[in-house]
Every structure is written in structure tokens, then in C-alpha cells.
Amino acid sequence: MSDRTNLPVYAPLGVGRLQGDRTFPAAAKIALADGQLRSNLRSATATIRAKRANVVGEVADWEELRRAGEAIKASTMASLDTLLIELERNVVANGGAVHWARDAAEANRIVTGLVQATGAKQVVKVKSMVTQEIGLNEALAAAGIEAFETDLAELIIQLGHDEPSHILVPAIHRNRAQIREIFLQEMPGVDRSISDEPAVLAGEARRYLRKKFLETKVAISGANFAVADTGTLTVVESEGNGRMCLTLPDTLITVMGIEKLVPTWTDLEVFFQLLPRSSTGERMNPYTSTWTGVTPGDGPQSFHLVLLDNGRTATLADEVGRQALHCIRCSACLNVCPVYERTGGHAYGSTYPGPIGAILSPQLTGLTGDGVNDSLPYASTLCGACFDVCPVRIDIPSILVDLRARHVEAAKAASRIPSGERLAMAGVGWAMAGEKRWQLAQRGAGVLRHSTRRTTIRRLPWPLSRWTASRDLAKPPVQTFRQWWATEHEDPS
Amino acid sequence: MTISARDEVLARIRSAIVTAVSPDVPRDYRAGAAADVELLVDRLVDYRAIVHRCAPAGIAGAIIEAADAAGIDRLFAPPGLDPAWQPSDRHVSIDDGTLTATDLDGNDVGVITTCSVAICETGTIVLDGGPGQGRRLLTLVPDHHICIVLPEQVVGAVPDAFRRLDPRRPLTWISGPSATSDIELKRVEGVHGPRHLVVIIVEHVPGSNSAP
């Protein structure tokens, strides 16, 4: 066996969308200055949080379901190789074809080739995170193939030449007035008298897309789940655009990350209960389609499944971080995150925003010590709300802490010049190691009390200004513990 | 020799999972629930489906009532739908496998089907393409879907449905009419699937042999 397979292979940069062009703090600064964005996000996340809490509250065995979901995913990862082979066998036995892709570029080549083989110049697409991750639309465009997004939010993003900012509601950063403007400017044949009522806007999207559904011969989808023991694929959706794509075209191409697997059909009963309530806050989403290979006389007669690695095996190799692969993309963690609620999804730079993105993106691309994604594990207050709502109990805070440590290791390895943080930590270490030194340091810090009349210190001089740039510092107390102890235990004599 | 993507990905997985442990899956969540038609009705109405309840003899009448209320001019049905349910004074075209999406497209088009399972707790009806349910196209393109639910098809909870369904068939799980929440997370009924879902719940008649 070659050594090559023992080293983690990360997702390549420069193709697809797993890393932005600026660090999280730099991107967040821009987002925070946008008052409209903050108001759109505040109202949307507050709505969805309340809906989720309501429908989760009515499920008596919610914790039992979460623990089952967590264990099913952990056991899937432990036998992922044999389960994928079982899935492949069952898909092929039912008339489908299975393709394997090491990374984004290879997946794009495979899909482009499959579309070209049909002769089609247009494809319709079901909302899919993974095809954004690999930049499939751009790859198809380069080959002269036009891809039409059919999910309403994805359509808004595509028409607006914008980037998605939320897993479930990619256009969460747009309000109705902005969406109406996008339709008026970009949608061919738009009715110019439309109002900004959501029902009117949805009706206009229906009219525009129906023609595409009826005339397009190739569809591309992602998958919410694949079932190894039956070869069944699943798309969970609301609008019916998924059903259109899965039913009307002659050819269906499904791109799926290798982790989106469950071992048995019965396992799905857990996730069909967890996902809709966590995601849209509904007891059940309007439509779920499941299909196994090809059904003669019903739906696409040609079915291709593309299985994608793109950094997933590198993530799988990490004992702490591999939990990130349990994610079922519900987006509950985004909706409760105080950081996401303020910055929105674009600041994360990746297809996967929010708390799950902060642990998934850097693991897929790898931590280099000075990379843009190295900033993501710090995009959190570690408050733990994400873990509380995660339907498969991914311990996001612990993974964030672990990734921070790995970032520091990577940074140390990447540079021989110590960073300011390392110097500061070494200094504190030295001061704390000697009793006299520590006493002196505490007395020195006490001087800071006189620097401000506020209860917190907002700005320290350089180089400590890097600490206070995004944090308030508690003012040192009037008396240190040691001073208090000394006065309380004074020898009465 | 170049290694195939399949072999390379599988080799990467094998070296990655050397340290992975497979936990036992706790199955102490509820395995099911008793069927509760009142709950089913409540859930369907919550999704803004239109619900009719009738005795088996009243099905045809309920279809006419629903079709007239919705302004449906053209009615379609899959093969295998009980002819006794079809209104005698309306023409119902049976799908012979050649109907296209264009044939079924229109705001005045309705399709009548039954289902495989109806789940009370979530208000979900599941179609499996069997007799009386038809090809997926048939319940997707028309603007109106009229679904007849028989007493023996009603189950309590999601796990009950899984025990009855065959994954090898193409399944469509339907919970209310097509909807979106993509604009400001406000729910809007009616995007690409049927914008109107009518569910005719057939009451159990004591003494009949259709009891579950």
C-alpha cells in the first residue's frame, strides 16, 4: 500500500466554493455595516427559531430520536467503505450507474461528460449544497451548458448574480422588496405589474420555471440521504421543484457526498422525524421523494449517482472532527447562532456557513496556519446553542476548540517567527511561574483601573489592542484575591 | 498503473476509519402510535389541505363537490382506481401510460388517486405508484390533487409508515399542497406541485371488512 493513501487529501482550492477571499473577521466587518442585512436576518432567524421550538416541543421522544440519529451516523462512518459498496451494488442492480469522484474537479468533469453525452444544452437543478461546493454551474457554463436553478431561493440568488447565505433559505439576506427588484430586472418575460407579496412572487417563479420543467431533458440533484441496503436515494423539499426534476426529465444525475448515507431503510424513520422539524420547523416538509435506480415507465429512465470525496475522507480521519460529517444540513445551528444572526452567511466565505460551516469548511480544505479558513473556528462565542439544537448531537463547540488548537499547531509549524499571541502566552507563562513575578504583574495590571471610568476596558495600546479589537476587557478589581487574603488573615497581634 | 477514483476513495476511507468505533444504536424512540383520524384531519387542515369526510358510498359525491368548488374541468385518474369511486356524470380520463406533462398542465386539471399510507401525526400521505396511485407525473403536474384515504391506510406515526412501505417503489410523501418559505420565511402555499390538495377521508363503516 502506498503512503499516499495514508495522508489526508483535502479539497482543492480554486474550484468550487469552500473558502472565501478574506478572513471571517474581515468579511464580518463588512456584513455588520449593512443595517438592512442585519434586520432581514434578525427577523428571519427569530421566526424560524420559534417555529422549530414549537414543533420540537410536541415530540415526546425527541432526545431518544437525537441519540439514535447520532449513533446511526457514527456507525455509518465506522463502516463507510462497505456501506458505499453496498449502496453501489444496489443502485446498479436497479438500473442506475455509479461514478466516484476524488474531488470537485473530477466530479465536475464526470457530470459535464454525462450531460454532453445526452446532447442537452440545458439542465434543471434541484437545490443542492454539494453542487455549489464543487462549483458545478460554473463548470457546466464553461462547457456551454446552461443550468437553471429551480428552488425559489436559488432562483433569486441566480437571477441576482448573488451567493447563497443560508443552508435552507439561501436568499435569507434578501427581503421581498429586494426580490421583486431582482425579478423585474432579471427574469425573462416577467409581469412588470407584480407586487412584492410573497405569494405573487412565488406565482411568478412558477410561471417562469414551468416551461423549463416541461422542456428540459436532464436534471441534476443532490441527495438528503442514501440507503445502503436498498440503494434508495432521497430528496426532501417543499416547493415541488424537486419532484419536477426527479420526475419529468429523461436523465437524472445525482451528486452526493460520501457521508450522506444511512445503513438501512428503517434508519430513515429517525431522520424523517428529525430533519423537517429542525429545518423548516414543520411536522413534515411538503414533499419527500425516494427512488431506487430506475422505475420502468415512471420518471427518468437513465439515472447516474456521483459519489464525492472532496476532503471528506480527510475529515473522517480526525477522531474529534469526523462528527462534522454527521450533519444532515438542517440549518438549525445557523438559526440559533448569535454570530450568524449578526454577520449572515456570506462572511463565512463557504457554501457551508454558520456553526456547522465553521467546523466543516476548514476540515474539508485543511488548516494551514495562515489560510482564510483558519479564521473560521474562531467565528463563535462557544455558547453551545448549536449543540443543543443539533438533531444528531454534533458537539460543535468541542470541535471548534479542537480546531483552534490544530490551527495554532499548524501556524507554529508553518512559521519560525513566533506570533504576537505566542509571545504574549509565553510572557504570561513566565509571569505566572514565579510568585513574586505574578504579584508584581497583578499590581501592574491594577494601574489599568485608572485608564477609564467605564466598568470595562475597550481599548488597550498596541500590541494588546489586537485582543481588545473585538472584545471588552474586564477592569481589574480594586483588590486582588491575594491582597484580600492578606487583609483578612492579618496577624491580630 | 493509475488507481481508479473508486479504489482511491475507498482506500482513503479505510485508512481514515481505523480508529472509528461503531456504537450500538439505541432504538428506544417510539416505534409507532395509534391511528387517530381526528389528528390526521387537524394536521391536514393546518397545511391548508381541504378535507372531506364521507362513508364509502359518498366518495363519488365528495369528488364532484371538490371538483365543482375548485373549478376543475378535466379529471384524470391512474389505472386501478376503484371505478365505483368515479363520478358517473363526469368524464375521468384514465392514464394509459402515454399522457405527457403537457397533457396534464393546466389550472383546470385535477387528478384523483388513493394512497398507500396516511400518517396522522404529521398529516402526510404517501403514494407508491401502485394501483390507484399511478405514475409520479400524474400527481405532480395537475394543479389539483384529490386523494382518497381509506381507513386501513391510516397509521399513527412515521415509523408505522416505514414498516408498511416498500423502498424499491418510487415513493412520494405529500404533506399539504406545494409550499415555500423562501421569502422572509413566510409560508406561501402553491409553487410547482399541485397548489390545491383535497383529501377525502373515508370513514370506517362498522361491520364492513375494511377495518384495520
% of chain B exceeding 90 in pLDDT:
84
| B167-179: average pLDDT | 94
* B97 neighbourhood in chain A, CB within 8 Å: 297
Give yes or no for residue B209 having a pLDDT over 60.
no
Q: Which of A281, A297, A312 is the last residue before a domain boundary?
A: A312
Q: What is the model's pLDDT at position A7?
A: 82
Mean pLDDT of chain B, nearest integer: 93
Residue closest to A240 by CA, chosen among B190, B30, B113:
B190
**Short-list A339, A232, A201, CA closest to A294:** A232
Tell me: do A430 and A307 sit in the same domain: no
Q: Average the pLDDT over each of A50-54, A368-372, B160-164, B179-183 and give the range with the smallest value.
A: B179-183
Domains of chain B: 32-202 (3.40.50.10420)
pLDDT at B1: 61
Dist CA A47 CA A14 (whole Å): 36
* CA closest to B7 among chain A residues: A100
Nearest-angstrom CA–CA distance, A64 and A45: 26
> Does A206 contact B140 at a Cβ distance shorter than 8 Å?
no
Residue ending a domain, among A292, A312, A332, is A312
- Are B173 and A284 a contacting pair at CB < 8 A? yes
Within a domain: residue A280? yes
Taking chain A (493 residues) in runs of 10, the rounded mean pLDDT of each run is: 66 95 96 91 92 97 98 98 98 98 98 98 96 97 97 93 87 91 95 93 93 95 98 96 97 98 98 97 96 97 98 97 97 97 95 97 96 96 97 98 95 78 83 88 81 80 78 84 87 64
Of B136, B178, B184, the CB nearest to A286: B178
Min Cα–Cα distance to chain B from A286, Å: 4
A268/B97 CB distance under 8 A: no
The Cα of B131 is separated from the nearest Cα of chain A by a number of Å equal to 13
Quickly list H helices, A262-337.
268-279, 312-316, 332-336
Residues of B in contact with A316 (CB under 8 A): 13, 16-17, 20
Looking at the complex, report in whole angstroms how far the Cα of residue B206 sits from the nearest Cα belonging to chain A.
Answer: 31
Chain A nearest-CA distance from B173, in A, is 5
Asked if the structure places residue A345 within a domain, the reply is no
**Max CA separation in chain B (angstroms):** 73
Q: Quote the minimal CA–CA distance from B64 to chain A in Å.
A: 25
Residue B134: closest C-alpha in chain A: A298
Nearest CA in chain B to A6: B15
Nearest by CB to residue A290, choosing from B13, B123, B170, is B170
Report chain B residues whose CB lies below 8 A from the CB of A319: 19-20
Chain B nearest CA to A271, separation (Å): 10
Asked if A251 and A218 count as a contact pair (C-beta separation under 8 A), the reply is yes
| Containing structural domain, residue A161 | 64-312
Look at residue A7 and tell me if it is in a domain: no
Q: Evaluate whether residue A352 is within a structural domain.
A: no
Q: How far is the alpha carbon of A430 from chain B, nearest alpha carbon, in Å?
A: 38
Half-sphere exposure of A195 (CA within 13 A, CB side): 4
**Residue after which a domain boundary falls, among A312, A334, A350:** A312
Secondary structure, 3-state, B114-142 = ECCEEECCCCEEEECCCCCCCCHHHHCCC
Q: Please check whether residue B140 is in contact with residue B193, taking contact to mean a CB–CB distance below 8 angstroms.
A: yes
The total domain count for chain A is 2
Is the CB of A232 less than 8 angstroms away from the CB of B123? no
Question: Cell match 455549489: residue?
Answer: A132
CB contact under 8 A, B14 and A81: yes
The residue in chain B having the minimum alpha-carbon distance to the alpha carbon of residue A63 is B29
Q: What is the pLDDT of residues B103-118, one digit of tens each?
A: 999 999 999 999 999 9
pLDDT at A424: 81
Please tell me the predicted confidence (pLDDT) of residue A492. 64
In a domain, A327, yes or no: no
Within a domain: residue A207?
yes
- What is the C-alpha separation between A353 and A327, in angstroms, rounded? 13
Cα angle: A240, vertex A241, A242; to 5 degrees: 85
Q: Which residues contact A252 (CB under 8 A, 6 or more apart)?
A: A218, A219, A220, A221, A245, A246, A299, A300, A302, A303, A304
Looking at residue B208, its pLDDT comes to 57
What's the confidence (pLDDT) of residue B212? 41
ipTM: 0.95
Q: Is B112 left (phi over 0), alpha (psi -120 to 50) or beta?
A: beta
Which CATH number belongs to the domain containing residue A87 in this structure?
A: 3.40.50.10420
Interface test with B, best of A269, A285, A316, A330 (most B CBs within 10 A): A269
Instruction: State whether A297 and B135 contact (CB < 8 Å).
Output: yes
Residue A307's H or E segment, with its range, is strand A302-308
* B148 pLDDT tier (thresholds 50, 70, 90): very high
Q: Give the side-chain half-sphere CA count within 13 A for A191.
A: 13
Q: Which residues of A touch B5 (CB under 8 A)?
A: 99-102, 106
- Among chain B residues, CA nearest to A153: B182
Q: Which residues in chain A are closer than 8 Å to B79, comparing Cβ atoms?
A: none
> Which residues on chain B are in Cβ contact (under 8 Å) with A44?
184-185
Q: What's the order of all strands across the beta sheet hosting A232-237?
A: A261-262, A225-227, A232-237, A287-292, B171-174, B124-127, B117-119, B154-155
The answer to whether residues A293 and A431 belong to one domain is no
| A/B interface, count of CB pairs below 8 Å | 253
**Residue A47 resides in a domain:** no
- Residue A445 resides in a domain: yes
Cα–Cα distance measured from residue A150 to residue A99, given in angstroms and rounded to the nearest whole number: 25
Of the candidates A325, A369, A364, the residue with the CA atom closest to the CA atom of residue A348:
A364
Asked if A240 lies within 8 A of B192 by C-beta distance, the reply is yes
Band (pLDDT 50/70/90 cuts) for residue B144 is very high
Q: Nearest-CA neighbor of B56 among B114, B111, B109? A: B114
- What burial letters (b/e) apply to B116-132, b meaning 16+ CB within 10 Å? bbbbbbbbbbbbbbeeb
Give the residue from B2, B9, B45, B109 with the most A CB atoms within 10 Å of its CB, the best one to mutate. B9
Nine-digit cell string for B92: 375521468
In chain B, residues with a C-beta closer than 8 Å to the C-beta of A273 are 29, 158
Residues B188/B189/B190/B193 CA torsion (nearest 10 deg)? 120
Cβ atoms of A219 and A126 within 8 Å: the answer is yes
Asked if B27 lies within 8 A of A68 by C-beta distance, the reply is yes
